[in-house]
Chain A
Amino acid sequence: MPNVESSPLIRVENIVAHYDSLEVLHNLTFDVTPRAITVIMGVSGCGKSTLLKLLIGLKKPTSGNIYVDGKNLVKMSRKELDTFRKRIGVLFQGGALFNSMTVGENIAVPLRVHTKLSEETIRIMCQLKLEMVGLAGFEDFMPSQLSGGMRKRAGLARALAMDPEILFFDEPSSGLDPITSAGLDNLILKLKSAFGMTIVVVTHELESAFTIADQLIVMDKGEILAYGTPEEVKKSTNQRVRQFLERQPEEKYSKDSQFLESLLSKA
Chain B
Amino acid sequence: MVRVISAIGRYGINLVQELGRMGLFFYYSFLGIFKPPGKFFSTIKQVHFIGNKSMAVVSFTAAFSGMVLGLQGYYTLSKFGSEGLLGSAVALSLIRELGPVLTALMVTGRAGSAICAEIGIMRIEEQIEALECMAIDPYSYIIAPKVLGCIIAVPLLTAIFDIVGMLGGYGVGVGLMGVNPGAFIWGMKNSVLNQDVWMGVVKSFFFAVLIIWICCYKGFWAGTRRGSFGAEGVSKATTEAVVLSSVMVLVCDYIITSLML
Identify 28 residue pairs between A and B in the complex whose beta-carbon atoms are under 8 Å apart, listed by A's number. A56-B133, A58-B129, A82-B135, A85-B132, A85-B133, A85-B134, A85-B135, A92-B126, A92-B130, A93-B126, A94-B125, A94-B126, A96-B125, A96-B127, A96-B129, A97-B127, A98-B127, A99-B121, A99-B127, A100-B118, A109-B134, A110-B136, A112-B37, A113-B36, A113-B37, A113-B136, A114-B134, A114-B135
Given contacts A85-B133, A98-B122, 8 further A-B contacts (CB under 8 A): A58-B129, A58-B132, A92-B126, A92-B130, A109-B136, A113-B134, A113-B136, A113-B141
Taking CB atoms, residues of chain B closer than 8 Å to A97 are 127
* Bound Cα distance A86, B129 (Å): 14
Min distance, Cβ A115 to any Cβ of chain B, angstroms? 11
The residue from A20, A83, A88, A114 contacting B133, defined by CB atoms under 8 A apart: A88
Using CB atoms, name the residue of chain A closest to B131.
A109
Using CB atoms, name the residue of chain A closest to B124.
A94
* Residues in A lying within 8 Å of B, measured CB to CB: 20, 56, 58, 81-83, 85-86, 88-90, 92-94, 96-100, 109-110, 112-114, 158, 162
Assess whether A90 is in contact with B130, with CB atoms less than 8 Å apart. yes
Q: Size class of B's contact patch?
A: 10 to 19
Taking CB atoms, residues of chain A closer than 8 Å to B130 are 90, 92, 96, 158
Q: Do A99 and B37 form a contact, CB below 8 Å, given A90-B130, A113-B141?
A: no
Min distance, Cβ B116 to any Cβ of chain A, angstroms? 15
Assess whether A58 is in contact with B133, with CB atoms less than 8 Å apart. yes
Taking CB atoms, residues of chain B closer than 8 Å to A83 are 135
* Bound Cα distance A97, B127 (Å): 6
* Bound Cα distance A204, B136 (Å): 30
Taking CB atoms, residues of chain B closer than 8 Å to A110 are 134-136
Min distance, Cβ A174 to any Cβ of chain B, angstroms? 14
* Bound Cα distance A241, B131 (Å): 36
Min distance, Cβ A82 to any Cβ of chain B, angstroms? 4
Taking CB atoms, residues of chain A closer than 8 Å to B226 are 20
Taking CB atoms and an 8 Å cut-off, the chain B residues in 125-164 that contact chain A are 125-127, 129-136, 141
Min distance, Cβ A232 to any Cβ of chain B, angstroms? 31
* Bound Cα distance A100, B126 (Å): 14
* Bound Cα distance A157, B114 (Å): 29
* Bound Cα distance A83, B126 (Å): 21
Min distance, Cβ B26 to any Cβ of chain A, angstroms? 18
Taking CB atoms, residues of chain A closer than 8 Å to B126 are 92-94, 96
* Bound Cα distance A112, B127 (Å): 17
Min distance, Cβ A214 to any Cβ of chain B, angstroms? 23
Assess whether A92 is in contact with B136, with CB atoms less than 8 Å apart. no
